Amino acid sequence: MPFTIAIDGPAASGKGTIARALAQEFGFPHLDTGLLYRAVGAIGGDPTTAARGLDPEDLLRPGLRSAEAGQAASRVAAIPEVRAALIDFQRRFSRQEPGAILDGRDIGTVICPGAEVKLYVIAADETRAARRAAELGADPAVMLAELRERDARDAARDTAPLRAAPDAVILDTTAMSIDEAVAAAAALVRKRLERLAI
């Protein structure tokens, strides 16, 4: 039976870093679902048409990690038809053998509500802004304003708002190193794998 790990949380909380590390440790394929929306935003034109025609190659476009692409992703992610077009892609990915890791904003609540492990990764706004500014070489104050704007938009949207699943484990990475955050997440995954093996 496939083992799905759903990792959600706001931008720069550490969810992508944790997801990539877990994928390496447990040998599961990883999908950064935010890239789907970033790619749709980057393609331009009608977002719904772009989502329906999305190709895996589109996820390799340059510039998808930029702040501009993140803002575009947040805007197109609020369109119900875009989300619907991308749900099947994500669900198929999530149920492959032996398992899969998906990170995003609605994995545990909408895409994979039956995931075997659900993590909701958070960090203080200022910490997230500093991380993203260091990553992009940007002004932390500008990043803080952009992150808060995006969080508000993502949390307020009618379709699949940003929120923790009721049964998700909250992982606050504010005061954690990358290694500490990964170790905490890996321990949760191991515990769940052991429980399922009994």
Point out the annotated binding site for ATP.
Answer: 9-17
Q: Give the Cα separation of 43 and 99 in Å (integer).
A: 30
Helices (H), 27-139: 34-43, 47-52, 67-77, 80-94, 125-136
Q: Is 6 exposed, middle or buried (0-12, 13-18, 19+ CB in 10 A)?
A: buried
Residue with tokens 């790990």: 5
The label of the residue with tokens 């369109």 reads: 79
Tokens of 59: 């996820």
What one-letter code names the amino acid at 99? G
Q: Which residues are annotated as a binding site?
A: 9-17
